[in-house]
Each structure stands twice: as structure tokens, then as C-alpha cells.
Copies of this chain bind each other. A is one copy, B any other.
Amino acid sequence: MDQTEPAALRVALAYHEAWTGKDMDTAMKYIAEDIVCDAPAGRIEGAAAYRAFLGPFAESLTGSAMIAAYGDEERALVMYDTASPRVASAPGAECVTVVDGRIAYSRFLFDRLPFARRP
């Protein structure tokens, strides 16, 4: 972890590395208990609901690659690609607001269509 990176970017990158590495316990250390996440299907509230949303997808990953990551002390914006048996290339983007070292708000974006086509 590059300590010269702005604080929110550092959290976003550490979080990303953990969940794409299927280490949800570590990933959740970067998620606020009262996280609010606006995802394509609607709002997800609270760490437990968030883990239930992301955990199964993380577990299914066969690959991932960061496309770009930027941020400052308060917010970070990342875009990445993921691979899973259901969808070979499913990019995502997250704009996260970090408070006290944890992600308190996330705007989460991905294309649901390929997942809807292959249930």
C-alpha cells in the first residue's frame, strides 16, 4: 500500500484488493457499519446487507483487473473489470466516500444486462 496516496484512495484500493481476492473478512474492515450503497438494483443499507450483496459475487470471481483508480482525502473513484463464470467481462465502477477509514457511502455501477440474461 502506497502511504503517499490520498486517504480515501488508499482505503478504496485496499478494499478492492481484499474483496477481489475473496477475503471478505478483510474487505469488511473497510466498510462502515452503516454503509449506504446505491447500486443498480436500489439502495443497500448496512454492512450485513452489503456483505450479502457482494460476498457471493466475490466468491464467484475467476479474475479481476483495476482499470483506473483516483481519489483524494474524502472520496475515491475506481473502475475495474471482473471475470466470473456467469459473465466473462463485467466492468464495475464505484465512487466511495470514506469516513474514519471506512467506506460510508458507495455509488456502485455495473451493467446488469449480462447477468439478467444468464441467471
Contacts and interface: CB of A to CB of B under 8 A. Distances in A.
A106 to B, nearest CB: 11
A62 to B, nearest CB: 20
Contact of A109 (B70, B75, B95, B110): B110
A105 to B, nearest CB: 11
A110 B114 CA distance: 12
Nearest to A92: B109
Number of copies of this kind of chain in the complex: 2
B113 A93 contact: no
Contacts of A95: 67-68, 79
Contacts of A71: 70
A93 B70 contact: no
A70 B70 contact: yes
Given A113-B40, A113-B116, A116-B113, A79 B67 contact: no
A16 interface: no
A107 interface: yes
Q: In the A-B complex, list the 5 residue pairs whose CB atoms are closest, starting with the nearest.
A: A70-B70, A93-B93, A112-B113, A40-B111, A68-B77
Interface of A: 40, 67-72, 75, 77-79, 91-93, 95, 107, 109-113, 116
